[in-house]
Structure 1
Amino acid sequence: MTYPYPLLDRPSLTWTKQTDKTRDIKVHEWIETIGETVPDWNDVDVTILGVPLSKSSISTSAASENPDAMRQVWKSFGTYNLDEDVDLASLKAIDLGNVKQHVTDIAQTHRNIEEAMVAMKRHHPHTMQVTMGGDHSITAMLVNGLKRANPDETIGILQLDTHFDLRDLSDIGPANGTPIRNLLQSGSIEGNHVHNIGLHGFFNAKELKDYADEQGVHYTTMKQARKKGIARVISGALEELNQEVDTIYLTVDMDVLDITHNPAAPAATPGGMYTEELFDAVRLAGEHPKVKAMDIVCLDPRKDVGGMAVKSAVHVMLSFLTGYCKR
């Protein structure tokens, strides 16, 4: 068989699609799964991918369980967003399954992730690609794949994160603390095309700030963002990127949320973003025509309390798609 089967495992959860538009449709009834034949990609608006990798996480993490945890929670959400009067059921979304994982070889898994993105963007470049991680190391592989598929395009990064993720690869390798530096060193992106929003407190070394300044990385602390207004900061970053790049990639590290809003991030901290601020931020990103892919990373379902973190992650995905639906 051809794409997507050689690179992907089928979704472990499959649902019956609900076609009766007169009743309340739940997310799990809306999102389709790959069948025995490859669909007509021209009819597909959104492709969803799971990357269950957390072996490359600096801290102990079961973020590998997050893709399926998010799928389980889909049945708790309807497709209609009352806040925006938007029904996501107007989009055709397909769950492609999970990138194949090597049991012990992280480098091989990283190659699989990159190849999966290359294949997706070559076979159906028009679809909005949403990835459920996994730790943050996967972002470098996904963006590298995006660059390989579109070598002539300039890629910008909108990063919502508590951390710079600019640690030295020579110290820890391609881990969840290094994806942005990995992309800078690979040449897939330029420093001045990175906008990181949400950094705060005592969780970033001075040497990483200095490196960010040297590379021209744009960053807005949580304190600055809240003072200016999240919507204004996100809109400003998108406008700057719009002037400089062809494609914008959105990466959402769930540790950007305050620990009281998300206890399940391996690096959860006090002083972070609130859920309503994050939902607004990703919706605005989804509305922008140059945002062509996004990921949600660094969420450990084993550390969750009452499902609040996993439900927040699904809300992030749906809020982003609400923005996409409003284009």
Structure 2
Amino acid sequence: MNRANNSIWQGRFDGDSPLQHRIWQRVSHHENYSDISPKDFVLHGFAVEEGVRRNKGRVGAAAAPEIIRKNMANFPVVKPEFTLKDFGDVSDSSALETVQAELAERTAAGLVRGGRSLVLGGGHEVTYAHYSGIKKAFHGKKIGIINIDAHFDNREPEEGIGASSGTGFWQIAQEGTIHSLHIGIQRNSNTLKLFDTAHKYGMKYITADEIFFENLPGIYERIDELAESVDVLYLTICMDVFNAAIAPAVSALAYNGIFTDPAFMHFYRHILQSEKLVAMDVAEVNPGLDPDQRTARLAASLLNEWLMI
């Protein structure tokens, strides 16, 4: 195994026995997509924040992939067959559309070989890029998207500015029927126009206020309804869905955001257990605003939940 960049992928060493392995011991760096085997986790970093800048947000998310990797490194390996292949970063560029197209090509190359795509943002403009890669890999298949986010991200691009971190779902909807479920939507963070756009294109949603333990059966039903109606699933998480106490380093702070409490973890793991899930990403971690790497640690923990399934 060619281990990935040791300056990033390092952690506690308990021994070389598979029973003692941590993630950093099972990561390898690759450039050739022919190295991918079915069920491999295929990792890309999206070191891009041009979409956040265009959306008038707090920039800094381009530095997140490296920090998230470091916070993933020390988790224990719980599956004997676990393999994580790191294909490096797509770098920031003011030519947002160009860098989104590059990520799409690279993620598609992993998916067509049976890999499971994992992307570390970067701004939430990663959604349109990652979705485009899934669409290339599963041409003609029905793709379901679960967006755990305080925002719909379905704004129309502004004239003279273009696409941004807030336009991804509008862009997807322009390409045909969209199959999406948005979980954690905040009523005080989305205008009536954005709700209207969601209704216009059939974007389903669960508000933050609906996420509580007694309502889990209804949330499961909504998730299953989407999963059963599509061929593959893609999960995207914008870290600004979470309360500022546990995710302070985001572009748009949510003082009334959700927590990773038992209710959240129950439906979150239910999503991850779907055999149709082929891709996942996290977005909007801003390391320069992150005390104790709190937000990066949370993002890494959420990603690790999929690695353990």
| 1:21 is the counterpart of 2:9 | no
TM-score by length of 2: 0.88
Shift in alpha-carbon separation, 1:244–1:74, aligned structure 2, 3 A: closer
User: What percentage of residue pairs aligned between the two structures are identical?
Assistant: 23
Match of 1:293 in 2: 279
By how many angstroms is 1:234 displaced?
4.6
Deviation at 1:44, TM superposition (A): 5.3
Match status 1:112 vs 2:108: no
Distance 1:183 1:175 in 2: 13
Q: Does the residue aligned with 1:307 lie in a helix, a strand or coil?
A: helix
Deviations 1:38-93 (A, max 9, x none): 664236521111110002112122111110001122344333xxxxxxx1453112
| Match of residue 224 from structure 1 | 210
Q: Which residue of 1 aligns with 2:49?
A: 54
Unpaired segments ≥5 residues, structure 1? 1-8, 80-86
Question: Which residue number in structure 1 is paired with residue 250 of structure 2?
Answer: 265
Following TM superposition, by how much is the alpha carbon of 1:136 offset from its aligned partner in structure 2, in angstroms?
A: 0.8
In structure 2, how many angstroms separate the alpha carbons of the residues matched to 1:176 and 1:43? 31
Give 2:167's aligned amino acid.
T
- Which residue in 1 is equivalent to 2:182? 196
Matched, 1:173 2:162: yes
Letter in 2 for 1:121: L
Aligned to 2:40: 45
Counterpart amino acid of 2:228? Q
Q: CA deviation at 1:226?
A: 2.0
Q: Is the Cα–Cα contact under 8 Å of residues 250 and 294 in structure 1 kept in the other structure?
A: yes
Change in 2 beyond 3 A, CA 1:154/1:38: closer
Question: Using the alignment, how far apart are the partners of 1:10 and 1:29 within structure 2?
Answer: 11
Aligned length: 299
**Alignment RMSD, CA only?**
2.5
CA–CA separation in structure 1 for the residues paired with 2:153 and 2:38:
37
Distance 1:298 1:234 in 2: 25
Distance 1:88 1:280 in 2: 21
- CA–CA distance in 2 between the matches of 1:253 and 1:209? 18
Structure 1 length-normalised TM = 0.83
Q: Distance in 1 between matches of 2:6 and 2:96?
A: 21
Q: Please list every run of 5 or more consecutive structure 2 residues that lacks an aligned counterpart in the other structure.
A: none
My pick for the range that moved more, 37-46 or 312-321, is 37-46
The 3 A distance-change label for structure 1 pair 113 and 22 is: closer
User: Quick check: 1:11–1:96 contact (8 Å CA) kept in 2?
Assistant: no
Letter of the aligned partner of 1:115 in structure 2?
Answer: E
Q: Which among 79, 82, 87 is matched to residue 91 of structure 1?
A: 82
Per-residue CA deviation, residues 258-286 of structure 1 (Å, 9 max, x unaligned), is 11111011112122111235444432211
Gap change, CA 1:292 and 1:233, over 3 Å in 2:
farther
Q: 1:70 aligns with which of 68, 77, 91?
A: 68
